[in-house]
């Protein structure tokens, strides 16, 4: 009986340790993501509110990108793929620095919204996105349902949206654009819940090792996933809720 009680106490203590570690891990994920969002907002505002800087990348009247504008547009996508391939070679500090560089590049990529939309509509859409994101992420964290099966379907949806968006840059179909926007909101809403649960389950699966290097890198990769979900959800909602200048 004493041995059973000792084992039970040990298991309980270990479970409490994992729970505390998980909370700290999620705080690190959300904290890193928040700093990234702040950097994105500052860069986007700095470029979008300065006509001289903005004109380097886009025509201030038509918003059409020039060569540098196209580079800025696709730079974050290239950095995401590069980050994925380099994460195992980078130190934890290097991975964090790369994430913040990526967040700054994303700010440059979306700076045009400060020219195209009113400041009030950007702020209100950000608030709506924040509330929606918080609810969806909370669901992903607390639900007992395994939603891992959503992953392949949602990733296929992202690829489809990306391809459709590139095609629509050349054909300019308003109907296709509307469909992309609707699907974008639904897909990134689903990804927010899915990625949150994946971050949680990955931590629990590796918690016994307590590899600090892995934990730090995992938090940064988790922050990147949720950051991308937030930014994309915000941009698709802005297309519906934003008031044009």
- pLDDT of 211: 65
Q: How far is CA 90 from the centre of its chain?
A: 20
Q: In angstroms, rounded to a whole number, what is the distance separating the alpha carbons of residues 48 and 7?
A: 61
Closest CA to 242 of 64, 112, 110, 119: 119
Residues comprising the chain, all counted: 245
pLDDT per position as a tens digit, 16-62: 566 778 889 999 999 999 999 999 999 999 999 999 999 999 998 88
pLDDT per position as a tens digit, 175-204: 898 999 999 999 999 999 999 999 999 888
* Three-class SS state of 219: helix
Q: In angstroms, rounded to a whole number, what is the distance separating the alpha carbons of residues 152 and 137?
A: 19
Output DSSP code: residue 145.
S
Mean pLDDT of 60-80: 92
Q: How far apart are the first and last CA of the chain?
A: 74
Q: In angstroms, rounded to a whole number, what is the distance separating the alpha carbons of residues 102 and 212?
A: 23
Q: Is the pLDDT of residue 8 over 70?
A: no
Domain boundaries, the chain: 2-241
More confident residue, 5 or 73: 73
Q: What Å distances lie between residue 16 and 9, 21, 140, 214, CA to CA?
A: 11, 9, 21, 21
Cβ atoms of 231 and 40 within 8 Å: the answer is: yes
Q: What Å distances lie between residue 202 and 1, 86, 156, 228, CA to CA?
A: 34, 20, 22, 19
pLDDT per position as a tens digit, 119-174: 999 999 999 999 999 999 999 999 999 999 998 899 999 999 989 988 988 888 88
Q: How far is CA 23 from the centre of its chain?
A: 19
Q: In angstroms, rounded to a whole number, what is the distance separating the alpha carbons of residues 216 and 110?
A: 28
Phi, psi angles (nearest 5°) of residue 143: -65, 140
Q: In angstroms, rounded to a whole number, what is the distance separating the alpha carbons of residues 103 and 227?
A: 9
Q: Say which residue the tokens 């979008």 belong to.
A: 48
- pLDDT of 10: 44
């Amino acid at each position: 009986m004493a041995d059973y009680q000792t084992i039970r106490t040990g298991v309980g203590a270990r479970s409490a340790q994992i729970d505390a570690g998980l909370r700290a891990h999620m705080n690190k994920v959300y904290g890193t993501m928040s700093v990234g969002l702040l950097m994105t907002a500052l860069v986007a505002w700095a470029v979008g509110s300065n006509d001289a800087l903005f004109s380097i990348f886009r025509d201030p009247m038509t918003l059409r990108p020039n060569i540098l504008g196209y580079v800025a547009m696709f730079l974050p996508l290239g950095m995401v793929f590069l980050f994925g391939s380099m994460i195992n070679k980078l130190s934890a500090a290097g991975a964090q620095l790369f994430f913040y560089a990526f967040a700054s590049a994303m700010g440059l990529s979306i700076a045009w919204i400060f020219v195209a939309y009113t400041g009030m509509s950007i702020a209100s859409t950000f608030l709506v996105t924040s509330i929606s994101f918080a609810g969806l992420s909370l669901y992903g964290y607390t639900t007992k349902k395994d939603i891992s099966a959503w992953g392949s379907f949602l990733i296929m949806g992202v690829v489809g949206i990306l391809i459709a968006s590139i095609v629509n840059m050349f054909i300019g179909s308003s109907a296709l654009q509307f469909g992309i926007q609707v699907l974008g909101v639904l897909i990134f809403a689903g990804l927010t819940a899915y990625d949150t649960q994946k971050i949680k389950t990955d931590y629990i699966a590796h918690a016994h090792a307590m590899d600090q290097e892995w934990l730090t890198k995992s938090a940064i990769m988790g922050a990147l996933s949720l950051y991308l979900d937030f930014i994309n959800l915000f941009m698709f909602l802005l297309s519906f809720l934003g008031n044009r200048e």
